[in-house]
Amino acid sequence: MQILPPATPEDVQLTRDGRLRHFLDIKGLSKSLLTEILDTADNFRGIGDAQVKKVPLLRGRTVVNLFFENSTRTRATFELAAKRLSADVLNLDISASSASKGETLRDTLFNLEAMQADAFVVRHSDSGAAHFIASQVTPNVAIINAGDGRHAHPTQAMLDMLTIRRHKGAFEALKVAIVGDILHSRVARSQIHALKTLGAGEVRVVAPNTLLPTDIESMGARVFTDLKKGLEDVDVVIMLRLQKERMDGALLPSESEYYRYYGLTRETLSYAHPEAVVMHPGPINRGVEIESSVADGPRSLILDQVTNGIAVRMAVMSMAVSGQTQQNAA
């Protein structure tokens, strides 16, 4: 059973004075706040090049990576981001925890709170899980959503926005195409909300009908089922993997058939703007959604996304924990 998010997530995410309290969803957040996250992340990027890769912003604080769903890349970048902020980090292995022995999620949270944690980074297979946890924890704990079901993956969207801004500048003139398994992608939903909020000129989604949500146009995206038409003259191409673990039934004839019609190759990329860049949130399935020569080519920003992910997660953690401190002091 999926946990449904509250009707007004922005009320949960923000302090009384409009600062970040939790980071659960892009939807409902203002352009100025998203821009502040990007600007803060930009300032943090240089830390990775420093001899001592740490700042003392979260010294004495404890961040718990609470992953109910596996993700090596996301968990590693959150851990590294917290350590670069000088926080203590606890990685909780749910499969070996008391939760696997029958302890409820609420009791697990209460026990972690008793250890005086300051932030939980939550990844869960149920939509709305991060919102539920935010509604249950004490007011001095910040919740950061590291992906919940098909609902949202806000830090992934923001690292993608930082990558786009650093390479393309202002969003207003950009045409962005998101290609692949839109139906099961929490990343795509967060990307669309972020792009629309930041003022992107046009947001397109490209997928077969079986991989398109029924409400996608209401989010402000133009829908294409033909890859070549969907890529025509776009500035940014974001590829998504097929999320077979979330698929119910046979939505595609085969992976080879999917690649034939929706795989990004040098030939299909030629329909985009000559200076278009290519992105992918990972993990990459080569020969399924993208050709290796494109993934590793000069227009690929995939490794830049990973680097930017650390900076964005540093920004979100520092802002949310600071927001909690100011909220409690008020």
Side-chain-side CA neighbours of 238 within 13 Å: the count stands at 28
74 marked among binding-site residues: yes
Report the candidate in 89, 134, 127, 131 with the shortest Cα–Cα distance to residue 109. 134
> Is 136 assigned to a binding site?
no
For residue 279, what are the β-bridge partners? 238
The response to whether 150 counts as a known ligand-binding position is: no
E strand or H helix at 200:
none
Compute the half-sphere exposure of residue 26: CA atoms within 13 Å on the CB side of its CA: 31
Q: Residue 232's closest CA among 193, 206, 201? A: 206
**Number of CB atoms found within 10 A of residue 210's CB:** 14
> Residue 154: which of 122, 180, 108 has the closest Cα?
122
Closest CA to 120 of 141, 140, 99: 141
CB 119 within 8 A of CB 313: no
Per DSSP, the residues of 126-192 read STTHHHHHHHHS-TT-EEEEEEETTTB-HHHHHHHHHHHHHHH--STT-EEEEES--TT-HHHHHHH
Beta strands in 57-125 (DSSP E): 62-67, 88-93, 119-124
Residue 186 annotated in ligand binding: yes
Known binding residue 299? Answer is no
Residue 167 labelled as part of a binding site: no
- Smallest CA-to-CA distance from 190 within 80, 78, 28, 309 is with 28
| Gap between the Cα atoms of 117 and 80, Å rounded | 17
Say whether 101 counts as a known binding-site residue. Answer: yes
Query: Is 283 labelled a binding residue?
Result: yes
Q: Show binding-site residues for carbamoyl phosphate.
A: 73-74, 123, 153, 156, 282-283
Q: Show binding-site residues.
A: 73-74, 101, 123, 153, 156, 186, 241, 282-283
Q: Show binding-site residues for L-aspartate.
A: 101, 186, 241
